[in-house]
Amino acid sequence: MTSKSNKTLGQLVSLLEERIPRIMHEANVPGLSIALIQNGDTAWTQGFGVMNAESREPLSPGTVFEGCSLSKPVFAYAALKLCESGRMALDKPLSQYLSEPYVPDEPKVQMITMRQALAHTAGFPNWRPDCWDAEGWNPEGKPLQSFFEPGERFSYSGEGYMYVQRVFEHVTGQIGESYMQSELFKPAGMKYSTYLCTSDQVPGMATGHDEHGKPVKKQLYRSMCSAASLHSTPSDVARILCACMRPDPDASWHIDTKLAKEMTTAQVPVNDSASWHDNWPDVPIKDDPFVSWGLGWATQNHNGLKAIWHWGDNGPFKAFALGYPEEGTGIVAMANGSNGYKLWSALCSMALGGEYPCIDWLNRVVYS
C-alpha cells in the first residue's frame, strides 16, 4: 500500500504554494519553511511568510529556525554512528562509561542503556525541575529523579538524551557541538545547523512568535542541549531523514543499513501520558495501536504503511518531520509561531496524502 498522493512534483508545488499561505493565515503563523522529499532526496524547498511580523523580512529556504525536538533524532544519528565504530553500544549501561554516577543515589539510573534513553523508556521525567534559564538548559537545576524501571514503559524525556550526551562527550573527548560540526554537519553539508545560539541578533534567523502572532524574546543556548537546542533549516534536517530512509554505503557520514533499520524500528508503543506527567505509576498508560518510538525517530504503522516522524515544540517555534522509507517520500517543516502545530495535519495531507495517527496522538496527548 502507498500513500494517497499521486500528483507530480509540479502539481504538488502548485497546490502547496496556493494553500499554505491560507492555512498559515487561519492559524496565525507568521512564517513557515518546508522541504519536500521525493525518491529519497530533497526535491523542493520553500519559505512562506515572514521572519519577523514587525520587520516583515520575507522567509527563504535558508532561514534558520529553532529545530526544537528535531534535535533528538539528529543527535541520535550521531550517537548511533559511534555505535557503528564500536565506541559506544546500544545495550551497555551508560553508567559503565562514567567514573561517577550521573544521578547519585538512584540505583535504577545505573542500568539505563542508550537504547532505553533514545526510545524514551529510561524512566526520567521530560525535564528536571528548574533546569531552564535565560542561558538555556541548566544542569544545575533540582536533582533528577527516576520514576520507573528502565525499559518498563514509554515516557517522553529530554533528560534521557542529556544523559546520552554526557556519555557521548566523555567517549569522544569533545564538547558535543564541536563533534557534531566536524563529524556530521560538515560532511553532511548541513551548513545552517548548530546546537548553540549565543545571541538574539543572528542574521538569517527567524524570530519566534506567540499565539497572537507577536514577536517574543529569543531563548539563548550557550551550551548544547541534544534534546532541544538544534538551530537548522528543513533542508538540513531532511539530509538526516533521507539518510535514515535510504542509507548510502558510499557516504562516509551515513550510518550503515543495519543501524538505520534499528533506528527506525519500533521499540515501544507510545501511551496517553504527556511529557509533563511525573506521577508514575498512577498516570494512565493506554498504548496507542499505531504509534511507537524507535531510536530517535518515532514510528507510525497504519494501513500497511510505515512512516518515521518527529515533532518539535520550543514554545514560539514548532517543527515537524515525517518520511515514508519504502517510498522515499517525506516532508520537514519549521514554523516561527506558537500555533505552528496546527499546520501539520493539513500540510502532510496536501504533500503526502494518507492519514496521520501520529498527529492525532500529538493533538490528543500534547495539545489537548
DSSP per residue, 104-165:
TT-GGGGG-BHHHHHTT-S---SS-TT-EETTEE-TTSSPP---S-TTSS----HHHHHHHH
- What residue numbers bound the domain in which 343 lies? 9-366
Q: Lowest-confidence range among 188-197, 239-248, 275-284?
A: 275-284
Does residue 2 sit within a domain?
no
274: CATH: 3.40.710.10
Does residue 3 sit within a domain?
no
Does residue 76 sit within a domain?
yes
Q: What is the pLDDT of residue 298?
A: 99
pLDDT tens-digit readout, 213-268: 999 999 999 999 999 999 999 999 999 999 999 999 999 999 999 999 999 999 99
Does residue 14 sit within a domain?
yes
> Whole-prediction pTM value?
0.96
pLDDT tens-digit readout, 318-347: 999 999 999 999 999 999 999 999 999 999
DSSP conformation class of 50? B
Spell out the alpha helix ranges (H) of 228-329.
Answer: 234-245, 257-263
Does residue 333 sit within a domain?
yes
Per-residue burial over 129-143, b if 16 or more Cβ lie within 10 Å, else e, is: eebeeeebbeeeeee
* Cβ atoms within 10 Å of 253's Cβ, excluding its own: 19
Does residue 175 sit within a domain?
yes
Q: What is the pLDDT of residue 281?
A: 64
**Nearest CA-CA partner of 31 in 198, 234, 219:** 234
How many structural domains are present in the chain?
A: 1
Mean pLDDT of 54-63: 97
Q: Is 299 within 8 Å of 263 (Cβ atoms)?
A: no
Does residue 163 sit within a domain?
yes
pLDDT tens-digit readout, 106-159: 999 999 999 999 999 999 999 988 888 877 777 777 789 898 999 999 999 999
